[in-house]
Chain A
């Protein structure tokens, strides 16, 4: 499908886990959406990569249920806190200490079929069969620019799809 035919993903938007026990709301515009192919995301997700949506900390809130906390060390060495549903295990959000944004695990958003990531990080551990769109931003490890290029591409995509 050509990009023009797809609307921009609109916010606010809610999301939740598979069993419905935990729900959350994203109340402001996300600042980027990318796929993470690190070994942690593969091991945790049951898929080839995770889909991470950067959301300003103030724009995210749990609105139903009590998520469970899980602390781990990312491939980058950063300490991260994962929040998941205690009843079905689905991971909903990651919080890296000291950052002004959290990452929503975007596949849990209502209407996840509309997601369109703008790049891929930690591709050095990507599964060999994965194919990437030539226009996407590709990073062997974590971006060294504070995710600026990913944020700019996402903003441009949202603006062009909305227009």
Chain B
């Protein structure tokens, strides 16, 4: 994916720019992601914090209640006019989870794996060679980042 990448919300009030290489792209099939996107999964693009900035408008933040035992607060950032979720921000993490479908150029998106597939909707067809995790990866997302890097350099 070529830098910089730009994107925004549905109504155009919020625009953002990505200036550093994303670390990975995966689909999250957790129940929270289904609810958040009103769909079957979310598409998460992990972007280094210093490589992401808002160009126009500012998001509204709310704290996402966690079902898990994770201790760090996680904020959802969305447009207060159209509701579009732009990113989820777990405080203290070096990267943001940007909602990849907010990017202007979605044709180049190709996720390398799927997490929380134990709650995935039955009908979703996964690629056999994708990385598949029943829950969250327990390797710090290392394999997903490695696969992404290999795909980007292919």
Contact = CB atoms under 8 A, between A and B. Distances in A.
B50 to A, nearest CB: 23
Interface in B37-68: 37-43, 60, 62, 64-65
A92 interface: yes
Nearest to B78: A89
B1 interface: no
Contacts of B122: 1, 6, 113, 116
Q: What is the interface residue range for chain B against chain A? A: 35 or more
Nearest to A43: B10
A70 B78 CA distance: 14
A32 interface: no
Contacts of A115: 40, 121, 123
Interface string A23-60: 00000000000010001101111111111000000000
A90 to B, nearest CB: 6
A129 B129 CA distance: 12
Contacts, number: 151
A51 B36 CA distance: 12
Q: Looking at A42, A72, A114, A133, which has the most chain B CB atoms within 10 Å of its CB?
A: A42
Nearest to A40: B10
Contact of A47 (B39, B83, B123): B39
Interface residues of A, number: 49
Contacts of A6: 122
A45 B11 contact: no
Interface in A116-163: 116-117, 127-129, 131-133
A112 interface: yes
B38 A108 contact: yes
Contact of A88 (B40, B78, B120, B125): B78
Contacts of A102: none
B123 A45 contact: no
B121 A46 contact: no
5 contacts: A35-B40, A43-B8, A48-B39, A72-B11, A112-B31
A-B complex: 8 closest residue pairs judged by Cβ atoms? A105-B38, A89-B78, A84-B83, A46-B99, A89-B83, A131-B125, A47-B39, A44-B10
Interface of B: 8-11, 27, 31-32, 34-43, 60, 62, 64-65, 76, 78-85, 99-102, 106-107, 109-111, 119-123, 125-127
Interface of A: 1, 6, 16-20, 35, 39-40, 42-51, 68, 70, 72, 82, 84-92, 105-108, 112-117, 127-129, 131-133
